[in-house]
Amino acid sequence: MAHLIKLPSVAADTSGGTLHQWLKKEGDVVAVGDALAEIETEKAIVEINAEQAGVLGRIVVQAGAASVPVNTVIGVLLAQGEDASAIDRALAEAGAAVQPAAAAAASAPAGNAAAACPPANCAAAPAGAAAAPKAPAAASNAPVPGGRLFASPLARRLAAQWHVDLLGVTGTGPHGRIVRRDVEAARDRAPAAAPAALAGRPAARRVPHTGMRRAIARRLTESKQNVPHFYLTVDCRMDALLALRAQANQGGAVKLSVNDFIVRAAALALREVPEVNASWHEDAVEYHAGADISVAVATDGGLVTPIVRDADVKSLSAIAGEIVELAGRAKINRLKPEEFTGGSLTVSNLGMYGISQFAAIINPPQAAILAVGAAEKRPVVDSDGQLAAATVMTVTLSADHRVVDGAVGARWLAAFRTLIENPVRILL
């Protein structure tokens, strides 16, 4: 019997996605577990794997189509021996559940497609594209419902890099999709002459929001509005840690960074003060069993926080290798949802940019985030009252006051500073 391939829910907070590309063609034989296609979500590109064996009989939603909701039928898998008629029967049996707006969109003139599609159903319209006539490519570069442009991920990245406004680009790809050559052509075209009053003034540009940027904006706004933040700041003397790191890196296969020490120290501090290793939910506070540290990674599309699981029981070299591997995949949108969902506490380190001190916004449902500044030479007063020069790093803990009381946050930060200033304990 024909099997309907539906867009899965790849993460708890994901309501839909875009078909980044199909990895199988119509007519290809598919085994259980084979990668069928890739979904582009707000934070990553995720593979869809086959749940049954068969032959890919039809691709219902083409690659690059506008975001479609979870459970939309995107393709049909035929069992051995079935013919094309089984596809039509399977789609017919699914009926309105497959594509509630398909009939209306197909029967409406191309110029009135927006009027024929009720707002509640417009998000599902792309799955009907296989049955509907192709619209002229020139009309396809207008934003679709929800503010998305019909453009490939590569075209979006190049447009941002070359300062090309996609709203003025006509797509020549499949179904009018904006592809690389369209962005290159727009880049090479001479800009229009500016009005005399603005001669010599750089023209303003507008870059459409990506799905990731929208997600970041939504989550951080919700966090700052709904989570009662409070902040605790301490200075940590780094001389002993830097000396230990230099010694550990002599001839070592894995080069340790200061951030690797910070991540493990944060996890060990969670073990010492488990009250901070918690998340707020409307019905309860959830205390986590493992110390899972999210590490903030800057990408071209925005901030991603891959997670080092059980960082309190891993060696520094294991943590270092894992961070490098996760960060590398984060920068090309290849993280799996479980690799950036959840976590106990986030470490956000801007020290490499020369930032001395800052306060970060909590990443819900976590209850805390540690903002790490640069390690820099400063004058300090030693315990014997003598003035000396030392390397000092300022860190600020942002905590959710619904979960973490001030004294609890202070105990965690004291435990963290003790580990940083006595780094041999981080190795144990």
Q: Would you list the domain boundaries of the chain? A: 3-130, 135-190, 228-427
Q: Check if CATH label 2.40.50.100 holds for domain 3-130.
A: yes
Check residue 128 and give its pLDDT.
38
Angle between helices 258-272 and 239-248 (to 10 degrees): 120
Instruction: Tell me if residue 175 is catalytic.
Output: no
Taking CA atoms, 86 is separated from 6, 52, 60, in Å, by: 17, 16, 14
Under CATH, domain 228-427 is a member of which superfamily?
A: Chloramphenicol acetyltransferase-like domain (3.30.559.10)
Cα–Cα distance for residue pair 394/151, rounded to 1 Å: 43
pLDDT value, residue 224: 95
What string of pLDDT tens digits covers the 428 residues of the chain? 788 888 887 654 566 777 888 999 988 998 988 989 888 776 677 888 888 888 898 898 888 766 778 888 888 988 877 887 888 888 887 763 444 333 333 333 333 333 333 333 333 333 333 333 333 334 344 444 444 567 887 888 888 888 888 888 888 887 788 988 888 888 887 455 445 555 666 777 788 777 788 888 988 999 999 999 999 999 999 999 999 999 999 987 889 999 999 999 999 999 999 999 999 999 999 999 999 999 999 988 889 999 999 999 999 999 999 999 999 999 988 888 889 999 999 999 999 999 999 999 999 999 999 999 999 999 999 888 899 999 999 999 999 999 999 999 999 999 999 999 999 999 98
Looking at residue 426, what is its pLDDT? 96
Give the 3-state secondary structure of residue 306: coil
DSSP assignment letter at 51: S
- What are 143-148's contacts with CB under 8 Å, separation 24+? 143/167, 143/208, 144/66, 145/66, 145/119, 146/66, 146/67, 147/208, 147/209, 147/214, 148/18, 148/66, 148/67, 148/208, 148/211
Contact criterion met (CB below 8 Å) for 236 and 391: no
Whether 61 contacts 20, CB under 8 Å: no
Closest CA to 324 of 263, 247, 241, 394: 263
In the CATH scheme, what is the code of domain 135-190? 4.10.320.10
Same topology for domains 135-190 and 228-427, yes or no? no
pTM equals 0.67
- Give residue 173's pLDDT: 81
The single residue of 3, 209, 229, 401 carrying the catalytic annotation is: 401
The per-residue pLDDT for 114 is 34
